[in-house]
């Protein structure tokens, strides 16, 4: 028994050490040849996108294709990097899978409503923000809430890995009220919890909320903590992230991205 445990412990340590040492190796080589060359060589840009967020990345059930604002961003990037708008390959991701997929090299970029934070910059490279959105609250009409101030002691449903929890907590502290949070893996799960009365408000970025608005619910006018979405890439793919950053900045400067935002009607 004791022997087995010690063997296990040693294995764990070895695993961690191996992971650490391999990281230094790969970062050394990666900075020299860069992920950009690999993308150009492969001739296809592999990108992780959402497939369950209306207007940003949603699978069209008729055609089977994923469509939305973020897919148009991918087309823009593929066009600039590879000279072909359609030289991309989409992988549907969730908040839980987008990090691991980037790390293990399954995708080159993630364009999936990924909010930029200082903490996350330690783990991934983020481009200039291509979209800015604030957190909003979706509530049931018959509950009669006018704003967060009316929600003392209520439960707010948020998505895992979303930054909305901290944002709302800060505002609630400022108002001197107490709210609690329940986290869910996907947006439809939060909507189900709102419908069944498990949570009193559905709190995510305003533009995403728009996709879940129906006859029984209403979006409150309050907006908190602007969230910036950026294109994420592996921390050591410096060449690729610099190129992407340049194209996103360019797209903002020449109004292309503004045009795409209007095309998808994203301003709520």
Partner 1 sequence: MKSSNPFALWRWEKLFGEWQMFGEGFLRTIEIAALALILALVLGIIFGVFSTSNNKIMRGISRIYVEFFQNTPLVIQIFFMYNGLAIAGLRLSVFVIGVLGVGIYHGAYVSEVVKTGITSIPVGQVEAAKSQGFTYLQYMRYIILPQTIKIILPPLTNQSVNLIKNTSVLAMISGFDLMYVADSWASSSLDYGPSYVLAGLLYFMLCFPLATWARKYEERLKLNDIARIPFDKREVAVP
Q: Binding residues for partner 1, per CB under 8 A?
A: 1, 12, 15-16, 19-20, 22-24, 27, 95-96, 99-100, 103, 119-120, 122-124, 157, 160-161, 165, 182-185, 189, 192-193, 195-198, 234-236
Report the alpha-carbon distance of residue 180 to residue 10 in Å, rounded: 40
CB of 174 to partner 1, least distance (A): 21
Q: Which is nearer to partner 1, 186 or 256 (CB)?
A: 186
CB of 203 to partner 1, least distance (A): 13
Report the alpha-carbon distance of residue 238 to residue 240 in Å, rounded: 5
Q: Which residues have CB under 8 Å from 26's CB, separation 6+? A: 236
Cα 248 to Cα 2, 79, 82, 88: the distances in Å are 56, 12, 15, 17
Q: Is 37 helix (H, G, I), strand (E, B) or coil?
A: helix
CB of 155 to partner 1, least distance (A): 9
Q: Which is nearer to partner 1, 23 or 152 (CB)?
A: 23
Report the alpha-carbon distance of residue 216 to residue 191 in Å, rounded: 12
CB of 181 to partner 1, least distance (A): 8
* Helix residue ranges per DSSP H, 96-163: 98-103, 118-121
Q: Which is nearer to partner 1, 76 or 179 (CB)?
A: 179
Q: Which is nearer to partner 1, 12 or 149 (CB)?
A: 12
CB of 79 to partner 1, least distance (A): 28
Q: How far is CA 76 from the centre of its chain?
A: 19
Q: Which is nearer to partner 1, 119 or 215 (CB)?
A: 119
Residue pair 10/2 in contact (Cβ under 8 Å)? The answer is no
């Amino acid at each position: 028994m004791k022997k087995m445990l010690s063997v296990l412990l040693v294995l764990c340590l070895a695993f961690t050490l191996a992971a650490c040492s391999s990281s230094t190796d790969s970062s050394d080589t990666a900075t020299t040849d860069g992920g950009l060359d690999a993308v150009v060589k492969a001739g296809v840009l592999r990108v992780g996108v959402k497939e369950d967020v209306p207007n940003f990345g949603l699978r069209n059930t008729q055609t089977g294709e994923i469509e939305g604002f973020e897919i148009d961003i991918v087309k823009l990037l593929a066009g600039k990097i590879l000279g072909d708008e359609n030289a991309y390959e989409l992988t549907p991701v969730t908040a839980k899978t987008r990090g691991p997929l980037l790390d293990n090299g399954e995708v080159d970029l993630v364009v999936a409503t990924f909010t930029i934070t200082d903490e996350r910059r330690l783990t991934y490279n983020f481009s200039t923000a291509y979209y800015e959105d604030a957190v909003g609250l979706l509530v049931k009409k018959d509950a009669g809430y006018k704003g967060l101030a009316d929600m003392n002691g209520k439960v707010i449903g948020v998505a895992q890995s979303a930054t909305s929890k901290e944002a709302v907590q800060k505002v609630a502290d400022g108002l001197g009220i107490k709210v609690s949070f329940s986290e869910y893996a996907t947006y439809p799960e939060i909507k189900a919890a709102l419908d069944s009365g498990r949570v009193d408000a559905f709190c995510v970025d305003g533009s995403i909320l728009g996709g879940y608005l129906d006859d029984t619910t209403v979006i409150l006018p309050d907006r908190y903590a602007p969230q910036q979405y950026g294109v994420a890439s592996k921390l050591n793919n410096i060449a690729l992230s610099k190129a992407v950053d340049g194209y996103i900045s360019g797209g903002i400067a020449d109004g292309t991205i503004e045009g795409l935002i209007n095309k998808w009607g994203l301003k709520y």
